[in-house]
Chains A and B, each alone.
Chain A
């Protein structure tokens, strides 16, 4: 089954404790991206990757890091989480980049709470 898998789905952590949200897709997609969803703000892009070792900032990259060492994986790293990073996070992938109008496939989301 074609899917984007995120882990963990739910996480409560404390300020400053490094965490990683993993994302894996099995569709051989080149493009992957991270979004956060906040009330009243919709989905905002954090980082994206066009291919292995190619990453770039989205609209809200502050406080986040990513890496793309393998085509299927695109982890989101919060080096020192803060309460304003409490949010619902989505990983997404597509066969073509967004610039080509490629449809995004989303994971089920990871709800993160930073105390």
Chain B
């Protein structure tokens, strides 16, 4: 039972354009969400998070949008840069439960 799903295994975007990575969840109890970025041969690193009391959080080129009614969140990267090429994982959690549930990951490739 995959509670957090990233339905696109891969995404290819032109440098300078917007990258949009999507994530769907099924558990309405999730009340915080995070995005992690992973380069080959490295561990995931935290990118950005959002609480369920917000619908948007912005950090430089990265913006996360949360649509609670649709149980959907997305990560926007604009403008996309070659260094953004990586695997992106979304994750969700419940305050008080000591676990993050991760999606399957989306491999983003930024083409020059």
Interface residues of A (CB under 8 A from B): 4, 31, 35, 40-45, 48, 50, 56, 58-59, 90, 92, 97-101, 103-109
Restricting to B79-97, which residues have a CB under 8 Å from any CB of A? 89, 91, 93-97
With A103-B46, A106-B43, A106-B44 as known contacts, state yes or no: A44 contacts B102, CB within 8 Å: yes
A4 near B105 (CB under 8 angstroms)?
Answer: no
Give 5 A-B contacts (CB < 8 Å), ordered by A residue: A31-B98, A35-B102, A42-B89, A45-B99, A99-B97
- Do residues A99 and B96 form an inter-chain contact, with CB atoms below 8 A? yes
CB <8 Å contact, A90 and B98: no
Whole-angstrom distance between the alpha carbons of A101 and B34 in the complex?
Answer: 9
State the total of A-B contacts with C-beta under 8 angstroms: 66
Q: In the assembly, what is the distance between CA of A35 and CA of B44, in Å?
A: 11
CB-based contact A56/B89 at 8 Å: no
Would B43 and A99 count as touching, CB distance under 8 A?
Answer: no
Q: CA–CA, A109 to B46, complex, Å? A: 15
